[in-house]
Structure 1
Amino acid sequence: MTPAPRSRDARRAPRLGIVLRRPTARRTRAAPYDRAEILARWGGCCYCDGPAEELDHVIPLALGGPDVAANVVASCRACNQAKYTKPLATWAAED
Structure 2
Amino acid sequence: MYLTVLLAASAGLLVLGATALRELRKPYPLTAKRTFVAAWVAGAGGLAWWAASPGAGPLVVLVAGLGFLVATLNRGPERPSYPRATPYQPPQ
Confirm or deny a common fold (TM above 0.5): no
* TM-score bucket (shorter structure): under 0.3
Answer 1 or 2: which has greater strand percent. 1
TM-score, length-scaled by structure 2: 0.24
Answer 1 or 2: which has greater helix percent. 2
TM-score, length-scaled by structure 1: 0.24
